[in-house]
């Protein structure tokens, strides 16, 4: 166990490594339990403030109505709207934002004051009069319509419901009836405004514009009709254009035929040029001719036979010469046939080209003649056609304007149609419950926020608190097991024994053979030292360490008290123990056991006296002490490793001591402890609860680990039992009650022995 702890505390692990475990779940639980009253007080204060603010706040009732706003007017006629809109995502968002602004527009809200169905002026005037009375001033001027509209606008909320066409209009006030009346007045006023100002007003202006446009179109049409009649008489042409249309059809037909003839001529030229460039083998009719294919097959067969014979016979073999001669003759025949066929193909292509050219020339002449005739006709009728088109256009404009006016005349009941674009889905009703304050929610949030603030304050207080608070905290900080926790004992801070002796002697017993508790409250302290002894004996598997160094970070941690009482506990259980006061600068153990400081460890290390001469037998059986002795000029030099090792070996060997306990100076004050580390088998580190700083413990542990100190564990001195968890606290009180009952029982037995008659009467 000791070797494992030494490796875990080597220089490879810095002191900051222990901070990783400080915020474990157990550490958080300990912090919250330790600071539970701070958390509860802050949570209670926040909850109380929240409750007071909630119950003192004036209830506000929220009334709301739902309005469905359609983007376009229902299409009841075939004609388009007067102001058509191309809807896209941007235009849709702009439309709805415009409607929201219209609902809250001050000029629109002014109309709600004198609404036919929901007038607000009479309902709002008393509210402003009460406000003036509460201010305690003189009667102010009555509010204007703009003031009333602003008051409504500031309390009006508009919200689109879940990406739909439905809008929620809400209003909050201390009066539920007034809140509902304001909302209903606002939505109905908006509907009326939309129908009259947005829907009907533009259409009325459009109707007036159409009447004026129709009159102008009729006058213009009459003028164009007179111009067209005059032009026809001058040109002696009929109003009909059938003759012109027939000429255009013929010209179009000739043009299409000429285009096809040019295409055929170009194709014939391309065919002839292709035949001339490719040769006989490039013409499909030559390649696919049956006689040409027959000759080619014969040549291929002869070549195969010649190839087979050349590897078997000589070049003069008769059959081989016959095949070669036949192949030459066949090649000549093949070329003759190909030339004839090629000449025929060229002649055919040239004949086709000549025919295509003649046909093209004929169509071109016809087209030219027809085009000249059409141009003459077109020149003569151009002015008439222009006037005719102008007349037809003006006539069409007049017809459209008349049809549009007829459609608008059919929409005389358009106001009802426009009201379907703004539909009030649900009117507002006076609410039964106030919207704010929401008592349950506020109280729940106040409690949660208070707990959150309290927990934060607890962790802040813990971060600012730099002292060791408990055994678990010390163990996590040092990364060593907690082998002992000594409860706090009231009294002087000087080293002392928690065990005391009865004065005098009993027959057959030497002084100091049986430990007796000095007072009832020290029973738990004695039990803690017994637990420390048990942990020490079980610290190693083979045997406990025989030489122990007990040290601390700073003075006043209680290391000398721990050393004295641990030695006393070991001796009380039959283990021969010796205490060495190695704090040569400030020796104190001789005062605990009423010894002399004239000679001690200083004399042994200086070789002026032997161990036997300075060894002091305490009043307690099997417990000896080597005092510090006179203070030397340089204790660090005197505390030599070899001398201390020889001294401890002499005590455990020749003198037969089972345990050697060395009380050393504080680690952060003097370097004497570092010279003692190699001479001892193990070290116990002592810290005082609510006194020792965490930084001091970290620095001390880092220094000790640098010299490869072998630790048994840590001991917390001055522990406050109330700071522990509930289970430990119950065990602590149970142990105190147990010892109290045992002490009372022993007192009664002693009283019965001294006065039997009185005891009998009491029973």
DSSP 81-134: PSS-----HHHHHHHHHHHHHHHT-HHHHHGGGG-SSS--HHHHHHHHHHHHHH
Give the 3-state secondary structure of 6-53.
Answer: HHHCCCCCCHHHHHHHCCCHHHHHHHHHHCHHHHHHHHHHHHHHHHHH
Q: What pLDDT is recorded for position 494?
A: 61
The percentage of the chain sitting over the pLDDT mark of 90, rounded to a whole number, equals 26
Q: Angle, nearest 10°, between helix axes 176-193 and 145-155?
A: 110
Residue 399 host element (H or E) = helix 318-410
- Residues 632, 634, 639, 642, CA torsion sign: negative
Say yes or no to pLDDT of 687 above 90.
yes
Top-ranked range on mean pLDDT: pick from 72-86, 126-140, 311-325, 562-576? 562-576
Burial-class residue 570 by CB neighbours within 10 Å (0-12, 13-18, 19+).
buried
Which tokens hold the place of 706? 């640098």
Residue 219 vs residues 97, 222, 230, 257, 274: alpha-carbon distances, Å: 45, 5, 17, 48, 70
Q: What pLDDT is recorded for position 389?
A: 80
Q: Angle, nearest 10°, between helix axes 89-103 and 176-193?
A: 130
pLDDT band at 651 (very low <50, low <70, confident <90, very high): very high
Q: What pLDDT is recorded for position 725?
A: 43
Residue 336 vs residues 288, 292, 295, 303: alpha-carbon distances, Å: 16, 10, 11, 20
Mean pLDDT of 244-254: 71
pLDDT band at 31 (very low <50, low <70, confident <90, very high): confident
The residue to which tokens 């929620």 are assigned: 168
Cα separation, 280 vs 285, in Å, equals: 9
**Residue 264 vs residue 140, higher pLDDT:** 264
Q: Angle, nearest 10°, between helix axes 471-478 and 694-706?
A: 40
Q: Is the peptide bond before 485 cis (omega within 30 degrees of 0)?
A: no
CA atoms within 13 A on the CB side of 186: 36
Say yes or no to pLDDT of 77 above 60.
no
Say yes or no to pLDDT of 694 above 70.
yes
CA atoms within 13 A on the CB side of 242: 2
Angle at 252 between CA 248 and CA 254, to 5 degrees: 120
Q: Which of 103-107, 283-287, 657-661, 701-705 has the lowest mean pLDDT?
A: 283-287
The residue to which tokens 């949660």 are assigned: 448
pLDDT band at 450 (very low <50, low <70, confident <90, very high): very high
Mean pLDDT of 209-237: 74
Mean pLDDT of 379-391: 72
DSSP 143: P
Cα separation, 742 vs 294, in Å, equals: 137
Say yes or no to pLDDT of 75 above 60.
no
Residue 636 host element (H or E) = helix 635-638
pLDDT tens digits, 595-636:
888 899 999 998 888 999 999 999 999 999 999 999 888 888
**Residue 42 vs residue 403, higher pLDDT:** 42
**Phi/psi of residue 560, each to 5°?**
-65, -40
Which tokens hold the place of 204? 């009325």
Angle at 115 between CA 109 and CA 119, to 5 degrees: 95
Say yes or no to pLDDT of 230 above 80.
no
Burial 191-228 (b: 16+ CB within 10 A, else e): bbbbbeeebeeebeeeeeebeebbeebeebbeebeeeb
Mean pLDDT of 681-708: 93
Closest CA to 623 of 573, 582, 665: 573
Mean pLDDT of 207-214: 76
Cα separation, 4 vs 67, in Å, equals: 77
Mean pLDDT of 717-722: 74
Mean pLDDT of 17-41: 73
**Cα first-last separation, the chain:** 56
Within its chain, how far is the Cα of 439 from the centroid?
31
Say yes or no to pLDDT of 762 above 70.
no
**Phi/psi of residue 45, each to 5°?**
-65, -45
**Phi/psi of residue 759, each to 5°?**
-65, -35
Q: What pLDDT is recorded for position 409?
A: 63
Q: In this structure, are residues 9 and 701 in contact, taking their beta carbons and an 8 Å threshold?
A: yes
Residue 476 vs residues 98, 472, 473, 480, 703: alpha-carbon distances, Å: 66, 6, 5, 7, 17
Say yes or no to pLDDT of 76 above 80.
no
Q: What pLDDT is recorded for position 516?
A: 36
Say yes or no to pLDDT of 726 above 50.
no
Which tokens hold the place of 670? 């003097």
Mean pLDDT of 183-191: 90
Q: In this structure, are residues 686 and 558 in contact, taking their beta carbons and an 8 Å threshold?
A: yes
DSSP string, 411-469: TTTHHHHHHTTEEEEE-----SS-SB--HHHHHHHHHHHHHHHHHHHHHHHHHH--B--
Say yes or no to pLDDT of 572 above 90.
yes
pLDDT tens digits, 263-307:
888 887 887 777 777 777 777 777 777 887 888 888 888 888 888
Which tokens hold the place of 607? 């070789």
Specify the pTM: 0.47
**Residue 250 vs residue 165, higher pLDDT:** 165
**Residue 577 vs residue 388, higher pLDDT:** 577
Q: What is the mean pLDDT of the chain?
A: 79
Residue 160: strand pairing partners: 167
Q: What pLDDT is recorded for position 5?
A: 46
Burial-class residue 709 by CB neighbours within 10 Å (0-12, 13-18, 19+).
buried
Mean pLDDT of 210-220: 78
Contacts (Cβ under 8 Å, ≥6 apart) of 633: none
Burial 371-405 (b: 16+ CB within 10 A, else e): eeebeeeeeebebbeebbebbeebeebbeebeebb
**Residue 592 vs residue 231, higher pLDDT:** 592
The residue to which tokens 């004695």 are assigned: 526
pLDDT band at 377 (very low <50, low <70, confident <90, very high): low
Cα separation, 699 vs 30, in Å, equals: 24
Give the number of other CB atoms < 10 A from CB of residue 237. Answer: 18
Mean pLDDT of 241-269: 75
Q: Which of 88-102, 205-219, 418-432, 474-488 has the lowest mean pLDDT?
A: 205-219
Burial-class residue 160 by CB neighbours within 10 Å (0-12, 13-18, 19+).
middle
Q: Strands 516-517 and 623-626: what pairing?
A: unpaired
pLDDT band at 218 (very low <50, low <70, confident <90, very high): confident
Closest CA to 677 of 686, 665, 687: 665
Cα separation, 751 vs 232, in Å, equals: 157
pLDDT tens digits, 474-508:
998 899 999 999 988 766 556 667 654 444 344 44
Residue 652 vs residues 149, 180, 372, 549, 647: alpha-carbon distances, Å: 101, 97, 144, 15, 9
Say yes or no to pLDDT of 541 above 50.
yes
Cα separation, 202 vs 196, in Å, equals: 9
Q: What pLDDT is recorded for position 521?
A: 52
Q: What pLDDT is recorded for position 447?
A: 94
Top-ranked range on mean pLDDT: pick from 30-34, 38-42, 418-422? 38-42
Rounded (to 5) percent helix, strand, coil in the chain:
60, 10, 30
Contacts (Cβ under 8 Å, ≥6 apart) of 54: 437, 439, 442, 443, 446
């Amino acid at each position: 166990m000791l070797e494992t702890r030494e490796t875990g505390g080597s220089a490879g692990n810095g002191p900051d490594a222990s901070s990783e475990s400080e915020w474990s779940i157990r550490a958080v639980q300990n912090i919250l339990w330790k600071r539970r009253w701070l958390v509860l007080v802050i949570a209670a204060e926040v909850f109380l403030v929240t409750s007071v603010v909630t119950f003192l706040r004036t209830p506000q009732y929220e009334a709301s109505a739902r309005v469905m706003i359609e983007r376009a007017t229902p299409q009841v006629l075939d004609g388009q709207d007067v102001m058509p809109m191309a809807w896209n995502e941007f235009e849709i968002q702009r439309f709805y934002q415009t409607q929201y602004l219209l609902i809250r527009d001050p000029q629109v809200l002014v109309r709600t004051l004198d609404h036919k169905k929901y007038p607000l002026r009479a309902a709002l005037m008393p509210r402003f009069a009460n406000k003036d009375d509460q201010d305690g001033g003189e009667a102010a001027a009555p509010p204007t319509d703009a003031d009333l509209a602003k008051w409504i606008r500031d309390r009006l909320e508009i919200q689109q419901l879940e990406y739909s066409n439905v809008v929620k209009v809400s209003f909050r006030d201390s009066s539920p009836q007034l809140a509902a009346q304001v909302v209903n007045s606002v939505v109905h006023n908006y509907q009326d405004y939309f129908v009259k100002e947005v829907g009907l007003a533009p259409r009325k202006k459009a109707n007036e514009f159409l009447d004026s446009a129709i009159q102008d179109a009729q006058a213009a049409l009459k003028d164009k009709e007179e111009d067209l009649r005059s032009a026809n008489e001058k040109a002696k042409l009929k109003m009909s254009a059938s003759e012109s249309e027939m000429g255009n059809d013929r010209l179009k037909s000739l043009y299409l035929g000429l285009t096809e003839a040019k295409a055929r001529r170009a194709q014939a030229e391309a065919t002839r040029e292709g035949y001339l460039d490719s040769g006989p083998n490039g013409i499909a009719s030559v390649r696919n001719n049956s006689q040409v294919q027959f000759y080619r097959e014969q040549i291929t067969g002869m070549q195969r036979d010649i190839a087979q014979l050349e590897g078997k016979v000589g070049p003069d073999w008769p059959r081989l010469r016959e095949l070669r001669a036949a192949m030459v003759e066949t090649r000549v025949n093949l070329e003759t046939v190909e030339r004839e066929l090629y000449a025929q193909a060229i002649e055919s292509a040239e004949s086709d080209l000549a025919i295509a050219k003649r046909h093209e020339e004929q169509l071109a002449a016809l087209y030219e003649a027809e085009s000249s005739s059409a141009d003459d006709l077109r020149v003569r009728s151009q002015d008439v056609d222009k006037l005719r088109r102008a007349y037809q256009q003006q006539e069409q404009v007049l017809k459209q304007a008349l049809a549009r006016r007829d459609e608008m005349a059919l929409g005389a009941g358009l106001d009802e149609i426009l009201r379907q674009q703004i539909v009030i889905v649900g009117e507002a009703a006076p609410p039964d419950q106030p919207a704010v304050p929401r008592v349950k929610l506020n109280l729940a949030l106040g409690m949660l926020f208070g707990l959150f603030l309290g927990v934060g304050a607890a962790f802040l207080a813990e971060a600012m608190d730099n002292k060791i608070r408990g055994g678990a905290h010390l163990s996590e900080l040092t990364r060593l097991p907690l082998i002992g926790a000594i409860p706090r004992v009231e009294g002087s801070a000087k080293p002392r024994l928690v065990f005391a002796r009865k004065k005098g002697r009993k027959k057959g017993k030497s002084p100091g053979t049986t430990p007796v508790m000095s007072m009832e409250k020290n029973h738990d302290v004695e039990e803690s030292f017994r637990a420390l002894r048990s942990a020490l004996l079980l610290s190693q598997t083979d045997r406990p360490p025989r030489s122990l160094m007990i040290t601390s970070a700073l003075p006043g941690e209680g290391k000398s008290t721990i050393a004295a009482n641990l030695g006393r506990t070991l001796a009380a259980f039959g283990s021969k123990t010796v205490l060495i006061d190695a704090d040569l600068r400030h020796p104190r153990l001789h005062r605990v056991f009423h010894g002399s400081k004239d000679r001690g460890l200083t004399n042994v290390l200086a070789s002026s006296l032997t161990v036997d001469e300075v060894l002091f037998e305490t009043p307690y059986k099997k417990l000896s002490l080597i005092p510090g002795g006179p203070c030397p000029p340089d204790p660090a030099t005197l505390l030599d490793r070899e001398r201390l090792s020889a001294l401890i070996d002499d005590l455990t060997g020749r003198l037969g001591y089972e345990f050697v306990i060395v009380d050393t100076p504080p680690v952060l004050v003097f370097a004497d402890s570092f010279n003692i580390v190699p001479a001892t088998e193990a070290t116990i580190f002592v810290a005082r609860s609510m006194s020792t700083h965490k930084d001091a413990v970290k620095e001390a542990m880092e220094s000790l680990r640098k010299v490869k100190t072998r630790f048994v564990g840590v001991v917390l001195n001055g522990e406050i039992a109330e700071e522990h968890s509930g289970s430990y606290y119950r065990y602590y009180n149970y142990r105190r009650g147990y010892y109290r009952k045992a002490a009372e029982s022993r007192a009664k037995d002693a009283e019965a022995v001294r006065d039997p008659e009185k005891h009998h009467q009491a029973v």
